[in-house]
Each structure stands twice: as structure tokens, then as C-alpha cells.
Amino acid sequence: MMGAYVIGILVMLVSVYVQWRLKSKFEEYSQVGLSNGMSGREIAEKMLRDSGIYDVRVVSVEGQLTDHYNPEDKTVNLSPDVFHGRSVSAAAVASHECGHAVQHATAYKWLQFRSKMVPFLSVSSRYMQWVILGGILLLNTTPLPLTIGVALFAVTTLFTFITLPVEYDASNRALAWIQQNRVVNEREYVMAADALKWAARTYLVAAIGSLATLLYYVTLLMGRRD
């Protein structure tokens, strides 16, 4: 049991460090203007056109770190700093989100798999924490509620690991495109790759953290059965 707590603390510390590094990297590279002077919106629209995608819109959404691709309405949603920004950070984020649009257009299998899991996760996430809490409270009476809770949590953990190839692939597509089309120079490319590397690590830490939590719940459950 003590081992589970130690792992949990280590994962939390690593997560805080990675988040801090990610924020500092994006703040640093947001101060570096692109040599071509293009905005995030212009870069996104060019990448979509170059990829033969004409039915996806690039729109601005409020907030920070709100950038995402929505396969339901086929929109690349960029935060104001990215949408209007003409920096290395804006180029990295905009092209990464378009990488997801390219995945969608080419029926990338991991994105399809993840999308199929979303409806189930949206429902289970509403009740999972309560099922697990009830399971822990009732553990000395019956293991059934916690067993159900662990099963639900296992699916969310699987989702975090399925997300990894989706995010890494989107970054690889983005970096390949901006390099091949000379959207950035060599110095800017190194910065964009560094920014996306740290962004990907946040997903990796999240997956490891989810796995550590799952193992903790499994330990509780197996301890009860023993």
C-alpha cells in the first residue's frame, strides 16, 4: 500500500514539473516571431488546403489552452493567442490541431478507436467517482461496487493510453508538414518540435498517473479478497 502512495506522489511531482516546463516553453516561443509572418489561422488553413481538406473550418474560441479539433462539426478551434498569433508557439499548436483533422480525413485507426470510446466515457465519468467512493466505503461488506468502479476506471485508463499515439502522430504530421513546406526555418523548427515534445509529455504523464491510480484501486480490491 505504501508503494502505491509513493508512486502516486512521484507521478504528481513529475506532472507538475512537465506542466511547468510546457508553460514556460510556450511562453518563451510565443515571443519568437515567425520569419514568414503568418498567423496561426493562416498556417492552419494552408495545412488543410495542402492536405486536400476543404470541409474543415478554422475558428477562434475563447480561453487559453482551448485549442482542439472537433470531428463532429469539422472545426479546428484555436485560442485567440494561437488564432491571431504569429509566433513559433502559434505555428506549432495550429499545425498540431490540423494534424488531427488530417487523421480524421484519412481515417487514422487510433483516432477512430478513441472517438468510439467518447460516448461511453462521457456517461461513465458522471458516475464513476461515486461508484468508486461507494465501493471503498462498502468494501468490508461487498467488493461488487468497487469491482464495477475499477472496471469503469480501467476503461478511462485505456482511453488515456489510446490518446498517446493520436497526439504523437498529430505532432509528427505537423512537424513534417511545416518542415517540408518551409513554413518555418531551421531555428524555428527546432523550437516548434521542442514545444510539441513537452505538450506530448503531458499526455504521457496523465496516462501513467491514471495507471498508477488504477493499480491503487486494484490493490484495495485484491486486499479485500485476500
42 catalytic per annotation: no
CB 154 within 8 A of CB 84: no
The single residue of 97, 167, 186, 188 carrying the catalytic annotation is 97
The per-residue b/e assignment along 81-101, b for 16 or more CB within 10 angstroms, e otherwise, is: bbbebbbbbbbbbbbbbbbbb
By annotation, the residues acting in catalysis are 97
